[in-house]
Structure formats: C-alpha cells, structure tokens
A and B are shown apart, each in its own frame.
Chain A
Amino acid sequence: MDSHIKSANANRESDFVIQLRAGAILQFIFIFIALVFLFSLRNTESLNTFSIIFFAIVLEALPFMLIGSLVSGLIEVFVSRDRIAGLMPRRKWLAVLIGAGIGLIFPVCECAVVPVVRRFLRKGVPLSAAIAYLLGGPIVNPIVGASTYIAYAFSWQVMITRLAFGYVIAASVAILIGLLFSKKQALISESSDHHHHDCCDGCHHSDHETGTIRKLRSAVHHAAQDFYDVTRFLIVGAFVAGLLQTFISRQVFTQLAQSPDLSILIMMILAILLNLCSEADAFIAASFRSAGIVFSGQMAFMVLGPMLDLKLILMYLGLFRKRLILVLSTLTFLFVGLSMLILQLLG
C-alpha cells in the first residue's frame, strides 16, 4: 500500500517537474521572440506603434491587477474558509445568481477579477459561483454601465441591454460549468503553483498570525506573490494584442462583415483579438456604427470582450486546467453568439 502511495507521489512530482520545464521553455521562447522583435525592428514606425499599444495596455491594466492582488491578499489573511462558507448561499444556483451580479456592488475590470477569483476558489467558493463572478463582474458593474451609457449618446436601452445579456450569459455558462466540472477537475493542482512552494508557512496566516499590522504585512506579501504569478500572462496577452493592432487593419474586419450574421461573428473575433478594457470598449463598439456594423454585432463585441479575450485566456492558465479553459471559452463564445443572433432576429 505504502509503495503504491510512494509511486503515485513520485509520478505526481515527475509530472510537476515536466510541467515546470515546459513552462520555463515556453517563457524563454517568448522572451527570445520579443527581444528579437525589438531589435530587428528598431527605429521603424511599426515598432513605435507596437511599443505604444503594448505598453499602454500593460500600464492601464497594472493598477487594476494590483487592486485585484491586494484584495486577494486581504481575503487570504482576513477571511477564513468557514466565514466564506457561511456567507455563501447553500443552494448553488442562488450562489451563481448572486455571483453574476455582485459586480454591481464590487466593480472590477477583467484584469482585476482573475486574482480575486483565484483566491475565492481556494477559500472554498463553489466553482460555478466563482465562474459567474469571473464572467459577469467585468460587465455587470456601474463603471461599465456608465461608459456604455456615455458612448452610446446617453442611451439607457443600450446600457441595460449590455448589462442584462452579460448577467444572463455569465449565470448560464457558470451553471453549465458547475454541472460539467468538479473543482478538482477545474483547477490546476496547488503543487504546480509555485506560490505555495515559496510560502513558508503553508498560507494559513488567518489561523496563525495575530495583530492587524502583522496580518496586513502578510496580506501584502500574498498580494505580491499573486501579482507575480498572474501578471506574466497579462503581458503575453498584451504583446499579442499589440501585434494584432499594429499589423492588422480594422477595415479588414469591417469589410468581411457583409451580412448581419457575419457581423456578429467578426465582431466577436475582433473582441477576442483586441483585448480592450471593459471600461473603454463601448467607445470602440460605438465607432463601428459608422462602418455599418449592426447593433447586435456591436453588442456581441461589448458582451464577449470582457468575458473572453487573448489576455484573459492566458491569465486563466495560471488558475484553470486547459480542458476547463477550452470548455469555458467555447461555451462563452457560443452563448454570446446565439444570444446576439436572437437579438438580431428580435430586431
């Protein structure tokens, strides 16, 4: 029996070492490509345009990532598992409905939400409720509502339509994910997360540490580790988005969007590729009116972007298993697409 356990542990450790090596090789390749790109295109307008876009995305996202990491650190230190369990409704579907709309009270953009959700999951929040918050939080919140309202010339209808679709799709996808995956199947194993290796005392500070100052110090320490773990994915995503924005014209997309149905599809692809912040994307969506993109296409852009884009997919790699990321991305894409086709039919 003991030999079986030892052998299983050895296999797990060997898988972990392989994963670490593969991760290190991929990161090394990315750094190498980025530096070759930087030096081979130096003093060209392409590099100038790319550098501005790439750095702008990172600089804008960093404060929100930092806020997310700090919130995550505070949750780790100040909120115990028992307390979270006590706050969550017992019925999972009710937890999902609350999760999808909690951004109205606790607004976060898509960059900040990932570290918070990561911490929630480790603190025992049900997978479906965390997914509902992950997808719904960046849309169903007052800041995004206000920016949509302004971008669409003070239109309540557009704002409400966006928030309503965001809420319903987030809750629907979350319920399905909850049915298809257990938490164990969804999350990457804690052993492959080096944060837990670096930390000396097993991350149970809320149980051991006393005194507010000590706890705050501990929270900042956790926040720093979380930020360090997740932000590299943001940077890879911003790099890819910068490349796409520099080398592919937006007109290519609008020329492809000849029919309303195609418009929806093209605008969804554009939302994934551009990686815009949910607080700014309404202004870009509104600018597509003049290019003849139908309203449902603009709405597809505004609903899908905060739920699914390149940098988010990469950030999910620090949290979820690849199978869950694939299913989550596919379901979100399909739900948004079908919802927008219905919106198109309703006229």
Chain B
Amino acid sequence: MKKPNLYKKIGMSGLVQAMLFLTWAIISFWLFVSNQYLAYLQPKFGILVVFSSVVFILFAVSLLFGKQHSPHHQIGSILPALILLLPIFFLFSSLDTGLGSKAFANRILDAEVKQAPDSDEFGENPEGVDAHLQESPLDQKGAVKHYTAVSISHLLMKSKQYKNRQVKAYGKLFFPENLKFADAVLYRFYITCCAADARPVGVFINGIGERKFENDVWVEVEGVYHLKKSEGDKKPILTLHSIKLITEPPIDQQYLYFPD
C-alpha cells in the first residue's frame, strides 16, 4: 500500500507547526553556542536554552513522524505559528546590543544611585575583580598596576573596603539631566534571571570636565573612589584621573550577573 506523502499525512497546520518547532530548535541552539543568550539570560540558564532546543526537536519529530493529523487547511491554526515567530523577528533587530540609557533612565529608582548600598543585595564575589579588566592590555603592560580593577557591583557592595582607594572600572557612560553633584554616571546592568529584571548599577563620576562623550559609550575609568554625603545619602563617587573610550565588549561581557 502506498504511503501518503508528508503534506497529505500531517496537513498544512502540522507541517507549519513542525517547521516552527525546528526554527525555534535551531535558534535556541545557536543562541547557546554563540553565547548570544547572555544578552537576555543569566549564564546559569544556558542549560535551559539547550533543553528548549532538544524539546523543540522532539516536538517537530513527533509531528512529522507521529500519528496522522486531520488534513484541514485552517488559516486560524496557522496564525499562532506566526505569533510564535514574532520574538525571532525582534531578536534579529537587537543582535549584539545591550540595554542602554533608555532602560537606565526608566529603571533607576532615585535612591539606587544616590546611595552606596554596601549590602548583600548584589551577592558575594570574593575576588571582586572584573574579568574584562583583568584581561585588559593595560594590565599586561603593567603600566597602571596601582589601580585595582573592580566591577561596579563589587564597588557598591564593598563600598567601605574601596573607600579612598585607586580603582579602575569599565561601563557605559550616561549624563543624566539636572545632575548637580557629579558629571555623569558610569553604569552597567545587573541581571538576576533575565534582561527584563535587569537593574542598573552605577557610580557617579567627577572630573570629566567639559562633556566630550556621548551617552552610552563604553569607557574605562581610573580614579579615587569615595563616598560623599549629600541630601541625606552617601553617594558613591569616582573622582577621575583618566577616562578613555574602549571598544564595546562582546555581548557576553556587557552585563553583570547574579551572584557575581
């Protein structure tokens, strides 16, 4: 007996669903192997992305080689597939970019940058050294060894430890309107689970002088860290010795992740 062809067997709806699941399987797998998923999720969720990829393949196989579908050509049953493809369209509109000053301005709560937390909120990182800066050519040349490379989250978490010490850090630059006691904010985003819950963490910086940088450029700064009491809060401030533009780090090094 002649077997029905695939289209006749599973119908347009089944075929569309199987293709959709295969697309998501490929996208999930690619996000994992290229580390692109780190633009959206924290590293520990990588295993979940792989899991998704495997299950999507299983789904596609079960539809393609499983039992027979009704061969109806229902447009109504194909529209959900288009909805399920929408996130992929939006993924490709934001590749290789991280959250910027728009998200910073939307998410920052006044008190979050106006005071040094010095609390457990950001978790523990015994090393406290920023991985990106450890690999910086500046260190390899040994020219600025007296500056301690530190991530912004660690600087805030261990405010007292770094008080009056020379530190260097990197992040994005933002010039908020009506900022009176500092020139700008050096910030990065701190992801607990996904970019939707990412919180901006930043320190104020002084000593830039006239504004010669745009918002959202990546810079490496060196200076002295201190806490300045103003308007009832202790404000984390870095008085600059130097500031320089750096190339935008790869997407897997742009965010800080819980619990680092």
Contacts and interface: CB of A to CB of B under 8 A. Distances in A.
Interface in B78-130: 79-84, 86-87, 89-91, 93-94, 97-103, 105-112, 115, 117, 119-121, 123
Contacts of B66: 217-218, 220-221
B13 interface: yes
Q: Is the interface of B mostly helix, strand, loop or mixed?
A: helix
B59 A235 contact: no
B194 A57 contact: yes
Interface string B32-57: 00000101110001001101100110
Interface in B136-161: none
B90 A50 contact: yes
Contacts of B59: 220, 223-224, 227
A208 to B, nearest CB: 11
Contacts, number: 212
Interface residues of A, number: 80
Interface centre among A45, A231, A286, A288 (most CB of B within 10 A): A45
A31 B82 contact: yes
A102 B121 CA distance: 30
A328 B92 CA distance: 38
B63 interface: yes
B77 interface: yes
Q: Is the interface of A mostly helix, strand, loop or mixed?
A: helix
A157 to B, nearest CB: 15
Contacts of A60: 40-41, 45, 193-194, 196
Contact of A287 (B70, B81, B106, B121): B121
Interface of A: 20-21, 23-24, 27-28, 30-31, 34-35, 38, 42, 45-60, 62-63, 66, 70, 150-151, 153-154, 194, 197-198, 200-201, 217-218, 220-221, 223-224, 227-229, 231-232, 235-236, 238-239, 241-242, 245-246, 248-251, 254, 274-277, 279-281, 283-284, 286-288, 290-292
Interface of B: 13-14, 17, 20-21, 24, 28, 31, 37, 39-41, 45, 48-49, 51-52, 55-56, 58-59, 62-63, 66-70, 72, 74-77, 79-84, 86-87, 89-91, 93-94, 97-103, 105-112, 115, 117, 119-121, 123, 192-197, 199, 258
